[in-house]
Amino acid sequence: MQSTTTPWALGDYHRFAKQMVWGFGPTLVAACGISPGQRVLDVAAGTGNTAIRAALAGADVVACDLEPTQFEAGRREARSCGVELEWVQADAAALPFADGEFDVVTSSAGAMFSPDHQAVADELVRVCRPGGTIGMITFTPEGMAGEFFELFGRYMPPPEPGAQPPGLWGDEAHVRALFRDRLSSLELTRSEYVERTPGGSAGFLDFYKRTFGPVVAIYERLDDGGRAELDRAALGFVDRWNTGAPDGPAHVPVEYMLIVGRR
């Protein structure tokens, strides 16, 4: 596959992930029961949030992502943790792996951003062996992330025809329809974590503008007036969700869904 430039190449995703969502990895590894000797595929792995944790649990791990610029930071993080894993550039909707190749297939806040949800679900099932486990962490449409997607989506180019919004991966009925009767069990559990930054609501927004690639890309395509308009809207959005003290660090609760299916 040729190198692909995506918004995820902008900013500093590893810094973002370590500060905001690094707790997803241990949560998903534990939920999937990943153990020594298993072969694990982490889809849309980013810089290895879940993949590295699976390797630390003793699994043989392949981390794949559409954006290969993430791999350098991922390799550094893996080395610092004392583990090795394979890094492969791959589209979540067209995985370059054999049928039933993996005991566990995971994705934490990654594959949900692919526009073709059905293709992603089909691929996750296809590469998971019969009796294996599929585990995902996604964001719900009703929580902070759902409003985040809606707000920033207003400033993005129109999606391609047929593209589905990522928040649908947090809708129970949608997820069950995607996997249909191909799983022997499917557990969907809502939970919450808190994103924290210094500097209150303004510091929270500034952190996203510096580190989170899709937000960086949106601001880059706007003129000065558009940036000022988005700043006002985004700061109001953060203020509504921020539960921290007005003069203290931002504390923003985010609802997510833990998806665990057995093939």
Report the C-alpha gap between 54 and 39 in whole angstroms.
Answer: 10
The residue ranges of DSSP E strands in 116-168, in sequence order, are: 128-139
What is the four-CA torsion angle of 101, 102, 107, 108, rounded to 10 degrees? -160
pLDDT of residue 246: 85
pLDDT of residue 160: 87
- DSSP, res 160: P
> What is the number of alpha carbons within 13 Å of residue 128 lying toward its C-beta?
27
- In DSSP terms, 42 is beta-bridged to 63, 106
pLDDT of residue 146: 95
pLDDT of residue 2: 42
Domain ranges of the chain: 7-195+254-262, 197-250
Report the chain's C-alpha Rg in angstroms: 18
Report the C-alpha gap between 229 and 219 in whole angstroms.
Answer: 11
Report the C-alpha gap between 89 and 14 in whole angstroms.
Answer: 17
Report the C-alpha gap between 120 and 114 in whole angstroms.
Answer: 7
What is the four-CA torsion angle of 179, 65, 2, 127, rounded to 10 degrees? -40
pLDDT of residue 238: 97
pLDDT digits (tens, 9 = 90+) for 97-141: 999 999 999 999 999 999 999 999 999 999 999 999 999 999 999
Q: How far is CA 248 from CA 12, 181, 203, 204, in A?
A: 24, 48, 10, 11
pLDDT under 70: residue ranges of the chain: 1-4
Three-state DSSP state, 225: helix
Fold exhibited by the domain 7-195+254-262 = Rossmann fold (3.40.50)
